[in-house]
A = this chain, B = another copy of it.
């Protein structure tokens, strides 16, 4: 958590969020009006936050990770626009999965990278495949969000195939599950073997570029392309 996030929570009259996230910050909830909700109720949660803020209260809507990366910020703005809500909105950036997972794996994101979600709930699968192929072909380090759920098990298999068409089977792959939580699990593997490791709903998968190497079970992408780069 950032100091800025702490400050905002301290000043808030009302704190709204998904129950599991609010349970992580009990000290901030004392003496506040707290509205906690179940998973999958993002739209309701944002509407409640906006409506409460419009009554003049200072409302903090809590999001996991960074609200600005695949998260709640956009929904808040979309709903404010739709309802012509005039409250002042400020996004407090935080650590997204790419930040925390990269730190846990070593230094995989030292060079150009792409982030791709494999969830086809709101995005046509064809477009996701096109992005996977583009990222693989242009040698981007690639962070894969939502790699697998109970319902969606084939997408990560297909993603791996696409990368294998452009990148060596030995390319380092990192899997971070539940980063910074109690049940955090970190796996360093490679494109050939990655499906033998557990990949779940809380996992982020990072695939190295053609220069990425492993050292002491860490994944490191050099800053430069060989030949130009001297330490």
Instruction: Please report A residues at the B interface, Cβ cutoff 8 Å.
Output: 1-3, 6, 43, 66-71, 73-79, 81-82, 91-96, 98-100, 102-104, 106-117, 121-124, 127-128, 130-131, 133-135, 137-140, 215-216, 218, 220-225, 228-229, 231
Count identical subunits in the complex. 2
The minimal Cβ–Cβ distance linking A96 to chain B, given in whole angstroms, is 7
Chain B residues whose CB sits within 8 angstroms of the CB of A135 once the complex forms? 114, 134, 138
Cross-chain contact of A66 among B69, B99, B114, B221 (Cβ < 8 A): B99
Cross-chain contact of A140 among B76, B77, B114 (Cβ < 8 A): B114
The minimal Cβ–Cβ distance linking A200 to chain B, given in whole angstroms, is 20
The minimal Cβ–Cβ distance linking A188 to chain B, given in whole angstroms, is 13
The minimal Cβ–Cβ distance linking A23 to chain B, given in whole angstroms, is 18
Chain B residues whose CB sits within 8 angstroms of the CB of A131 once the complex forms? 112, 138-140
